Amino acid sequence: MSKVITIQHTVYQLCTEFPELIPIMKELGFENITNPQMIKTAGRIMTLPNGCRMKGISLDKVIETLETNGFAIEK
């Protein structure tokens, strides 16, 4: 079964469906993603593109890393 990520879903939705995303995202520079309260609050409104803009992280790099880790990306 493939792991399909829609980048317009919220971080909360993605991390709830795919908890294995949390360490990957932390390694990419989203340090607060390991804090369950952050996922439950800010994560409910934050999408990957918005989070990348806010943190100054390349969305292309995030997509490439997720694909390397077995995720398919829907835009």
> What tens digit of pLDDT does each residue of 25-75 get?
999 999 999 999 999 999 999 999 999 999 999 999 999 999 999 999 998
Q: Is the pLDDT of residue 1 over 70?
A: no
- Per-domain residue ranges of the chain: 3-74
Superfamily of 3-74 according to CATH: SP0561-like (1.10.3910.10)
The DSSP line for 10-57 is BHHHHHHH-TTHHHHHHHHT-GGGG-HHHHHTGGGT-BHHHHHHHHT-
The amino acid present at 25, given as its one-letter code, is: M
Residue from 37, 53, 2 nearest 12 by CA: 37
